Structure 1
Amino acid sequence: LAAIMSVSLLRVQLLSPMAQQLFGASSRRGLADVPTTLSALPQSVRNYVKEKANLCQPDDIYLCDGSEEENKRFLEIMRRAGIAKPLRKMDNCWLVRTDPADVARVESKTVISTADKRQTVPIPKEGVKGQLGNWMSPSDLQAALQDRFPGCMAGRAMYIIPFSMGPVGGPISKLGIQLTDSPYVVASMRIMTRMGRAALDAIQGDNYVKCLHSVGLPLKDISKPLVQNWPCNPSKILISHIPDRNEIASFGSGYGGNSLLGKKCFALRLGSILGKREGWLAEHMLILGITDPRGNKKYVAAAFPSACGKTNLAMLQPTLPGYKVECVGDDIAWMKFDADGVLRAINPEAGFFGVAPGTCSHTNPNAMRTIQSNTIFTNVGETGDGGVYWRAWRRRWTPPLASPAGEARCGLRTAATRPPIRTRVSAPRPRSARPWTPTGRVPRASRSAP
């Protein structure tokens, strides 16, 4: 289903002449050719969308279907808005540059709200600042959200993104609905999750996580040119989690770690609480399979902090004769013991979201081959021939750099190196473990005897 929808008595007005040309009725088939109402949604989703639309006051509401046609139109919207540009040297690859004030996860503005503080974070000794999370009382969070979200989407469209973390219908997969006013988020969520009608059809009652995101900059409030044409509101950034209601609300940032709410917010923070309730684990871990020359296969999960090599290890290219390494996931693992006591694991994501500096043909040849197509690059340098460049190893940059992006091996000391430089790339990937999308889970280890 791809349609513009109305909320209550709100008449849907197209966001702009550009959006009208791309999404409205025209001589070409448009995504808005089949107008409908919120009755197309499950009742619980309909109620959630109505509530947040009345709060955020978008001009349009659009239900995303995750199709390739739709994705092309979102990318074209970003191109015309000056947010993204195609990289002519690569296959369906795009370059996005953000406002320098919006380039990373903001841990200090990331909170979890519960009635009982001890339920969420350890309470340190008096005078000591805790390092294991930020707690906010429900009343304080409600006041903070009320200060930010009313009218925040005025002049913009609200995009409804139905998605699944893990294969749709998988035994420990989880469903979500994200509402956002960012086309960049829509294009990125299509890569990082299973997004579209199948996920929407799987929703029954309240068996999904509610995710609300806004860049926090209504069109009427823009009084000066945007930096890099990137809308954000850094002074008001807040990323909040409400476990008791299975809700996430993010405001003020368009950067992926703060705005792709299926990733760290859902898959790790809220996921760890869902796992505690249901008897499974959500961990910041890679998953890979290793097969020796005799055909013996073992799966390994490994935990490193961000930017410490999980992706490079997960996509390892073995040099020992006869060995094979297969990538299941490079960042997040959901794990559960099955009825036979075998610890099973899935990668809840569908693509890669990685830090680019240090990644090159020497450290991760599989990644460098993968990102030659279907990739969104953020805050990287662009070469004169339409390729990409970032800080890596051993080779000095001299303009114009004519060699392939995979050969870039040294520091580029320009604004393009401001951290974090990110790439976002869709699966399938080189030698990904099979089965990739079925509902089965790979065995990680057997339960040890007491």
Structure 2
Amino acid sequence: MPPQHQKRLNFSAKVVQGTLDSLPQAVREFVESSAKLCQPDQIHICDGSEEESRQLLCHMEDQGVIKRLKKYDNCWLALTDPRDVARIESKTVIITQEQRDTVPIPKSGLSQLGRWMSEEDFEKAFNARFPGCMKGRTMYVIPFSMGPLGSPLSKIGVQLTDSPYVVASMRIMTRMGTPVLEALGDGEFVKCLHSVGCPLPLNKPLVNNWACNPELTLIAHLPDRREIISFGSGYGGNSLLGKKCFALRMASRLAKEEGWLAEHMLILGITNPEGQKKYFVAAFPSACGKTNLAMMNPTLPGWKIECVGDDIAWMKFDQQGNLRAINPENGFFGVAPGTSVKTNPNAIKTIQKNTIFTNVAETSDGGVYWEGIDQPLASGIRLTSWKNKEWTPEDGKPPLEPPVLQPAGIACLSQTLSGLSSLAVVGEPCAHPNSRFCAPASQCPIIDPAWESPEGVPIEGIIFGGRRPTGVPLVYEALSWQHGVFVGAAMRSEATAAAEHKGKVIMHDPFAMRPFFGYNFGKYLAHWLSMAQRPAAKLPKIFHVNWFRKDKEGKFLWPGFGENSRVLEWMFNRINQEAGAKLTPIGYIPEEGALNLKGLRDVNVKELFDISKEFWEKEVEDIQKYLEQQVNADLPYEIEREVLALKQRISQIKDGFVLLGFSYLNHQEERMLMKHLVIRIPRKERGTLTRLIRTLTQKLNV
């Protein structure tokens, strides 16, 4: 640990479960040095057993930290201090010797791609917080595995915490306990130290019996030392150090060094009616329906979706050149508001037992409730809000019209932005917009049979997406791997300006990783680009989707929900070279008839796929400005070239011109066609000419 004076502190804590002698030497040294510093009264070495879990939950119930929800089997409710409800980007830092190792140096102003802290400043901050921070409390030792035990893609960590809530949640979200220590042996592990920052006796009373220290909250990552240090927050994103801290920030740095990828992506399997199965990963910013897509019920007859993971993917090319992915997590830590039987029936089924709810409302019969749950309250049932107050629908002052469910399955009642939200209703919500459920992944009714496969599942498609009300087509395919990396870097999405509550803005969120990069984003892009140089690498196709395009009246053009399976079907068939596509300046879009619309009514395909020169000129200008400003000297040349190429292609769009798309040609052939076959023809004759060209190319075997 940073301070060198730890050895002078007395180590008098009593070990109440397990023995220090049973720990691997490096783990024991970590525990002992941290105990000398933090001065807990007791040390509890977690074994991960059912009995241990039961005792911890009952202990927290006795302390008033959680409440049993009698309507369900082994479900619990925690209400936090209202000041401790979300991730805090401004207090989340990465410590390296050089600032440029963590973030690119922007042309001007502050970096939007991470926060760097010097080693000297961190040591001062650490020394001001941790000495004696666990007095009167128990230090829990949590050995945990990110990924299935024994998988070559998995990593092990050891978290020390004084929060039993963290222990109970980590047992759900990771593989935790004695088997992890046995698998670790003398191997390497990531050291994770967490404290709520409230030594006993307390200086001031707690709110909702929730221990936290918001004034001194700090979440720090030291990648060179493989350490994560968190102080002052009990909220999951800040205290469950296996999640974003390890699985994304630390892991992305490890992945860079070791030649793999750690990404903010869902993993799903999709099987067609003939029984052929493919796996996709998908990256979406907040409020774009990632969990809902991962657990979707497809409307297409005979098609099946299965969930491997809803949030994080670790991916590595195997010796055969296949990109293999594991879900490093063991549970779902999902946003509750907007989750309903209509938007995500499989999530609702998943959380009926063995679940910890945080900051949702409670019904008087021992159930849970939140905005967008879409379940009427039975007569006589009362609600208690997340602030532990009686709540009625009038307190929320909902609009006269019911909320419009959005295509990906997120109700418009909340838009999350960096873990924060503002409501589309006036008044006080019954559940916090960032309220959560923490449930075992094994309980998901459509969990994939291979979700714990040690070798991972083979990825054939990568999907990027965002919430774009105008301009961006429903789906398009990247022209190449390099172009696909640019598409990920250029991701933008509509989000509520939560700080000012002044309406909607389009935010840059490259790879949906903006808050989670563990190192310089320019180097991250170079790492992605380098995957194309892997020997025998079978590069997945890359796609971009937008479920949220609206017409001039503000209505969604695409129905979303299970109908999104139609888009996945087109991608599936593109990978099999069985679906036609039309080349456009931004990528391949489905040719006429290639997207299965059977049974759908009133879908304006023309507007869904319209590519406006005016829109895309501004879009590429904004993307170029952002990359040049934020990534600056670290922007790879290949990405600069993609920006310029897109600019040139957009400039060639002219009224009265048509770009003829051809199916089943390779990228080089289609680029040649795009360059030469730009033909001025009247609109009414275009269909005839297109058919003529198709016939000609077929006869010439193009």
2:427 is equivalent to residue 447 of structure 1: no
User: 2:447 aligns to what?
Assistant: 432
How far did residue 13 of structure 1 move? Answer: 4.9
How far did residue 206 of structure 1 move? Answer: 5.0
User: Which stretch of structure 1 is more off in the superposition, 302-311 or 67-76?
Assistant: 302-311
| CA gap 1:144/1:9 in 2 versus in 1, 3 angstroms | closer
User: 1:419 aligns to what?
Assistant: 433
Q: Residues 378-435 of structure 1, C-alpha deviation per residue, up to 9 Å, x if partnerless?
A: 00001111110001066776874499xxxx9977964642231100001211121112
User: 2:195 aligns to what?
Assistant: 214
Matches within 5 A, 1:20-169: 32=16, 37-126=19-108, 128-169=109-150
User: 1:259 aligns to what?
Assistant: 239
| CA gap 1:326/1:36 in 2 versus in 1, 3 angstroms | closer
User: 1:275 aligns to what?
Assistant: 255
CA distance in 2, matches of 1:342, 1:351: 26
CA distance in 2, matches of 1:206, 1:289: 33
- Paired AA for residue 255 in structure 2: G
Query: For the Cα contact (< 8 Å) 1:71–1:187, is it kept in 2?
Result: yes
Query: For the Cα contact (< 8 Å) 1:175–1:203, is it kept in 2?
Result: yes
CA distance in 1, matches of 2:455, 2:307: 16
| TM-score, normalization by structure 1 | 0.89
User: Which stretch of structure 1 is more off in the superposition, 60-69 or 199-208?
Assistant: 199-208
How far did residue 38 of structure 1 move? Answer: 1.6
User: 1:19 aligns to what?
Assistant: none
Query: For the Cα contact (< 8 Å) 1:355–1:421, is it kept in 2?
Result: yes
CA distance in 2, matches of 1:165, 1:81: 30
Structure 2: gaps spanning 5 or more residues: 1-8, 384-392, 394-401, 404-412, 414-424, 461-537, 541-665, 668-702
How far did residue 134 of structure 1 move? Answer: 0.1
CA distance in 2, matches of 1:438, 1:124: 41
Matches within 5 A, 1:357-368: 357-368=337-348
User: 2:357 aligns to what?
Assistant: 377
Q: Residues 152-188 of structure 1, C-alpha deviation per residue, up to 9 Å, x if partnerless?
A: 0000000000000000110110000000000000000
CA distance in 2, matches of 1:277, 1:443: 22
CA distance in 2, matches of 1:136, 1:227: 31
Higher relative contact order by CA 8 Å / sep ≥ 6: 1 or 2? 1
CA distance in 2, matches of 1:260, 1:103: 13
CA distance in 1, matches of 2:339, 2:222: 36
How far did residue 437 of structure 1 move? Answer: 2.5
Among 189, 192, 195, the alignment partner of 2:170 is: 189
CA distance in 1, matches of 2:90, 2:380: 40
Query: For the Cα contact (< 8 Å) 2:11–2:39, is it kept in 1?
Result: no
Identity %: 61
| CA gap 1:120/1:82 in 2 versus in 1, 3 angstroms | same
Among 292, 298, 322, the alignment partner of 1:342 is: 322
- Paired AA for residue 221 in structure 2: H
Two-structure CA RMSD over aligned residues (Å): 2.2
Query: For the Cα contact (< 8 Å) 2:10–2:36, is it kept in 1?
Result: no
User: 1:391 aligns to what?
Assistant: 371
Equivalent position SS for 2:184: coil
Query: For the Cα contact (< 8 Å) 2:341–2:373, is it kept in 1?
Result: no
- Paired AA for residue 293 in structure 2: L
Q: Residues 277-303 of structure 1, C-alpha deviation per residue, up to 9 Å, x if partnerless?
A: 100000000000000101111111000
Equivalent position SS for 1:229: coil
| CA gap 1:386/1:121 in 2 versus in 1, 3 angstroms | same
CA distance in 1, matches of 2:13, 2:130: 20
Equivalent position SS for 1:227: coil
- Paired AA for residue 420 in structure 1: N
Equivalent position SS for 2:300: coil
User: 2:604 aligns to what?
Assistant: none
Query: Which protein has the bigger helix share?
Result: 2
Among 152, 156, 159, the alignment partner of 1:178 is: 159
Query: For the Cα contact (< 8 Å) 1:383–1:400, is it kept in 2?
Result: no
Aligned pair count reads: 418
2:325 is equivalent to residue 352 of structure 1: no
Q: Residues 91-125 of structure 1, C-alpha deviation per residue, up to 9 Å, x if partnerless?
A: 11101100000000001000000001111101112
